[in-house]
């Protein structure tokens, strides 16, 4: 299992555990006491409080060619990130299962695009991220994060909304919040998505966990139509010119399933990462 399931799964997949959708808002604490998490106390949970400034130093060091300094900063950030849950890529079919248990759900602006494009999404036609679970009942407490507003959706509306973004080529990522509950569903893409860019471009592997699956191409079914090409955000999908068929590098695959949902011939399927010896620990 990945560390997410080890800490939050209760013996199974962490994001399919209903317990993780009812957060600490219903847990009483002594006055003045901070929240605790399943991975330690509030001090440990806040170990990456200065992650933003550390990452800025890493980017500056890389730009200046100071690779030893850059590698040292990234290694320390990964060490800290491994102490707690993070985010994980999830295929569409399991997002549907999540939406059956993660109510209430609300669409909202993408914080990554706010950072990369300096723009705020302010309506349902623009929103691409989603808040999940009981934490959304107190969303007004964080006005800066939700300044673009939120739009609460029924389960049916939420599923249709996520399917729309899937057809547009957005991958799906579940975010844990506070160390012990699922708080959000991100529908995003490279290069906008911060966690994807930080992992692929800078080596911050611990913040974004690969999915529970890897994708596999059945070459007997694949006719080389190319409908899946251009949908992979992780450089795992290529077109094999000698065969004129799609090929997936499973060591690079995050299991997002965007290639699978685009294939008109059902030539792409999922394999359980944990059951493949060479990939069982590649998260």
CATH number of the domain enclosing 227? 3.30.70.20
H helices present in 151-272, as ranges? 155-167, 194-202, 258-262
Co-location of 135 and 184 in the same domain: yes
Co-location of 162 and 233 in the same domain: no
Q: Which of 174, 209, 244 is the last residue before a domain boundary?
A: 209
pLDDT value at position 118? Answer: 84
pLDDT value at position 77? Answer: 94
Closest CA to 255 of 101, 132, 36, 91: 91
pLDDT band at 103; cut points 50, 70, 90 = confident
Cα within 13 Å of Cα(35), Cβ side: 15
Co-location of 185 and 68 in the same domain: no
| DSSP secondary structure of 125-174 | TT--EEEESGGGGGGGG-TTTTTT-EEEE-HHHHHHHHHHHHHTT-EEEE
Instruction: Say if CB 20 and CB 14 are below 8 A apart.
Output: yes
281 located within any domain = no
Higher pLDDT, 5 or 92: 92
Q: pLDDT per residue over 232-245, tens digit each?
A: 999 999 999 999 99
Whole-model pTM?
Answer: 0.86
Co-location of 89 and 183 in the same domain: yes
Co-location of 8 and 89 in the same domain: yes
Query: What's the rounded Cα separation, in Å, for the pair 106 and 131?
Result: 5
Co-location of 15 and 148 in the same domain: yes
pLDDT value at position 217? Answer: 97
Averaging pLDDT over each range in 25-39, 166-180, 198-212, which range is the top one? 198-212
Query: What's the rounded Cα separation, in Å, for the pair 82 and 3?
Result: 8
Pairing of strands 129-132, 181-188: antiparallel
The rounded mean pLDDT for the chain is 87
Q: Name the residue range of residue 228's domain.
A: 213-275
pLDDT band at 49; cut points 50, 70, 90 = very low
Q: Which of 62, 81, 100 is the last residue before a domain boundary?
A: 81
Burial per residue of 222-238, b for 16 or more beta-carbon CB atoms within 10 angstroms, e otherwise: beeeeebeebbbbebbe
Q: Which of 209, 228, 243 is the last residue before a domain boundary?
A: 209
Q: Is it the case that residue 42 has pLDDT exceeding 50?
A: no
Co-location of 201 and 246 in the same domain: no
Query: What's the rounded Cα separation, in Å, for the pair 130 and 150?
Result: 9
Q: Is it the case that residue 230 has pLDDT exceeding 80?
A: yes
Instruction: Say if CB 152 and CB 104 are below 8 A apart.
Output: yes
283 located within any domain = no
Query: What's the rounded Cα separation, in Å, for the pair 109 and 119?
Result: 10
pLDDT band at 45; cut points 50, 70, 90 = very low
Q: What is the dihedral of CA 195, 104, 140, 92, to 10 degrees?
A: 20
Query: What's the rounded Cα separation, in Å, for the pair 230 and 239?
Result: 10
Co-location of 76 and 158 in the same domain: no
Structure tokens at 36: 């605790």
Q: pLDDT per residue over 50-68, tens digit each?
A: 778 899 999 999 999 999 9
Number of domains in the chain: 3
Burial per residue of 9-18, b for 16 or more beta-carbon CB atoms within 10 angstroms, e otherwise: beeebbbbbe
151 pairs with which residues across the strands? Answer: 107
Co-location of 10 and 102 in the same domain: yes
Cα within 13 Å of Cα(62), Cβ side: 14
């Amino acid at each position: 299992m990945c560390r997410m399931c080890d800490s939050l799964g209760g013996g199974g997949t962490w994001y399919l555990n209903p317990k993780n959708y009812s957060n600490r808002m219903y847990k009483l604490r002594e006055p003045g006491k901070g929240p605790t998490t399943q991975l330690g106390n509030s001090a440990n949970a806040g170990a990456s409080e200065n992650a933003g400034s550390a990452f800025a130093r890493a980017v500056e060091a890389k730009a200046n060619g100071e690779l030893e300094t850059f590698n040292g900063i990234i290694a320390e950030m990964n060490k800290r990130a491994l102490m707690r849950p993070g985010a994980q890529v999830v295929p569409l079919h399991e997002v549907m299962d999540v939406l059956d248990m993660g109510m209430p759900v609300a669409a909202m602006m993408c914080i990554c695009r706010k950072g990369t494009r300096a723009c705020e999404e302010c309506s349902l036609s623009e929103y691409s991220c989603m808040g999940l679970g009981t934490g959304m009942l107190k969303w007004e407490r964080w006005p800066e994060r939700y300044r673009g507003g939120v739009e609460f959706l029924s389960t049916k509306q939420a599923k249709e909304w996520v399917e729309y973004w899937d057809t547009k080529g957005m991958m799906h990522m579940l975010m844990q919040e506070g160390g012990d509950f699922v708080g959000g569903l991100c529908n995003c893409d490279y290069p906008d998505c911060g966690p994807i860019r930080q992992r692929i471009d800078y080596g911050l592997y611990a913040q974004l966990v690969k999915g529970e699956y890897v994708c596999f191409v059945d070459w007997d079914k694949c006719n080389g139509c190319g409908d899946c090409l251009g949908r992979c955000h992780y450089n795992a999908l290529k077109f094999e010119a000698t065969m004129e068929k799609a090929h997936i590098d499973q060591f690079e695959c995050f299991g997002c399933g965007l290639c699978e949902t685009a294939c008109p011939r059902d030539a792409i399927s999922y394999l359980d990462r944990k059951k493949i010896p060479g990939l069982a620990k590649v998260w």
